[in-house]
Each structure stands twice: as structure tokens, then as C-alpha cells.
Amino acid sequence: MRVDILSLFPQIAHSALSESILKRAQEKGLLEIHSHNLRDWATDKHRTTDDTPYGGGQGMVMKCEPFFAAVEQLRQPHSRVVLMSPAGKPLKQADAQAFSSLPHLILLCGHYEGVDQRVLDHLVDDEVSIGDYVLTNGALAAAVFVDAIARLIPGVLGDSQSALEDSHSHGLLEFPHYTRPVEFRGSRVPDILLSGNHGAIAQWRRQQAEAKTRAVRPDLLS
Ligand code: SAM
């Protein structure tokens, strides 16, 4: 998969996506991430990417022209253009799974009050929110989005880091994990996990996952 990220803060996404598992995925050629400065597609001498809103009001709006120029240069016939936006469709694990099979994503990151509506109307295939809260800019959101997708690309996670049992993969939150020591400050690892009985352990984990989901996210069970 290739990902092109267009933002005013390319270093934010680059830093977040250049460590650990995603760094190795890029070294293995499973993933290619390019974090661009949108100002590179501005045409005036001040490299302007925003302007005041028509109709008045506070803040600045990101202009159409740099987004159109950048997407028109980077877009391939198979590309999907995604706008990071708190007004977009909230990202779910199933969406991350679907995006992870695409060959090319172009991510548009807003700043200030957001982007000119004509970008959404004529360039964007998907408007994606990473949650019901508002960040200062889209570069952080793009990094979260890419991380969620990239770890689902076959080969990115090793077997020991399999995503199959992760929270949200089967409509449940994940069961609790323990590692050494068996006892820490009076708190013991549940005996079942030391029993070696794999069937009983699987059953216990399922029960724990259901109980946690019921307590914390009952909406997932309905
Ligand atoms: N005025 C906009 C609104 O109310 O919808 C908020 C703009 S926000 C301050 C600036 C940029 O940050 C957005 O254009 C978007 O790219 C990004 N952003 C903020 N929160 C986000 C979220 N929850 N998910 C995805 N992107 C987000």
C-alpha cells in the first residue's frame, strides 16, 4: 500500500509513522508512506493555503487550489482520497480492515476551521473522523488512521502480534492479559491461566471479553 498525506505539518505524521512496527513494515516494502507539505502546491510567493471565510465568522478556511493541485499530481486510477474530519464517518475496525486492502490512499488534513466545501464535493471519496472530539489539525488524525489500517496489512504484524483477537475484531473488547511475575503486590495471576488447559483458558477469555464488553461498551453487544 502507498499512502500520501497532505498537511501543513508533515513532520507530525512522519514522526508518528516512522517507529517500531510501521518502520519495519516500510523497510520490508509492505507500506510506503509519504508525508507532504501542502504548501508545496501553493502558487503565490507566500505559499498561502488558507483564507478568510465567505459569509464572515471566526477563523480561516483552507483553500481549494493547493488540495486540487496536489491530488491531481498524486492521484492514480486506483487511488482513494480521504479527508480527515471530525464531521466525517467515525472510523471503526471494520472500516480499517476494508481500507487496509486498498493500494493507494491520499489523506487530506485540515487545519483552522477546516477545508473549503468544494474539496469535499469534488475531490474526496471518504470523510473520516477518528472520534467524537476535535483536534487542532488533521495530521495527528491521519497518523492514527494510517496506524490502524497499516497493522492490518498482511505481514505487518508478526504472529505473536496477531490482530485477530484484538478489541473490536469480533464485536467484543479483548480479555485481560497477564505476564510474569505470578504474584505482584498481593495480586495473583488467575489460576486458570497457569493450568495449561487450553480449552478452559479459551472459555475463560471469552467470558472475560463478554463481561468487559457488557460493563464498558454494552452498545457493542446490541
Ligand atoms: N471547524 C471544524 C468542525 O467543527 O468540524 C473543526 C476543524 S479542526 C479544528 C481542524 C482539522 O483537524 C480538521 O479539518 C480535520 O482535518 C482535523 N480533525 C480534527 N478533529 C478530527 C477528528 N476527530 N477526526 C479527524 N480529523 C480531525
pLDDT tens track for 92-133: 999 999 999 999 999 999 999 999 999 999 999 999 999 999
- The pLDDT mean for the chain works out to 96
100 lines ligand 1 (CB under 6 A): no
Q: Which CATH architecture has domain 167-221?
A: Orthogonal Bundle (1.10)
User: Between 3.60.20.10, 3.30.505.50, 3.40.1280.10, 3.40.50.2300, what CATH number should domain 2-150 receive?
Assistant: 3.40.1280.10
pLDDT (mean) for 80-84: 98
Q: Which residue intervals of the chain bear CATH 3.40.1280.10?
A: 2-150
Q: What is the pLDDT of residue 161?
A: 63
- Distance (angstroms) between ligand 1 centre and the Cα of 77 equals 28
Distance of alpha carbon 124 from alpha carbon 73, whole angstroms: 15
Residue 82 has pLDDT above 90, yes or no: yes
- Can you tell me whether residue 6 is helix, strand or coil? strand
Query: What stretches of the chain show up as alpha helix (H) in DSSP?
Result: 10-16, 20-27, 64-74, 93-99, 117-122, 138-150, 198-216
Q: Please work out whether the CB of residue 87 comes within 6 Å of at least one atom of ligand 1.
A: yes
The CA-based dihedral angle spanning residues 56, 57, 60, 65, taken in that order and rounded to the nearest 10 degrees: -40
Substitution site in 8, 82, 83, 85 for ligand 1 pocket (most atoms within 8 Å of beta carbon)? 85
Q: Is 114 in the pocket of ligand 1 (CB under 6 A)?
A: yes
**160 pLDDT exceeds 70?**
no
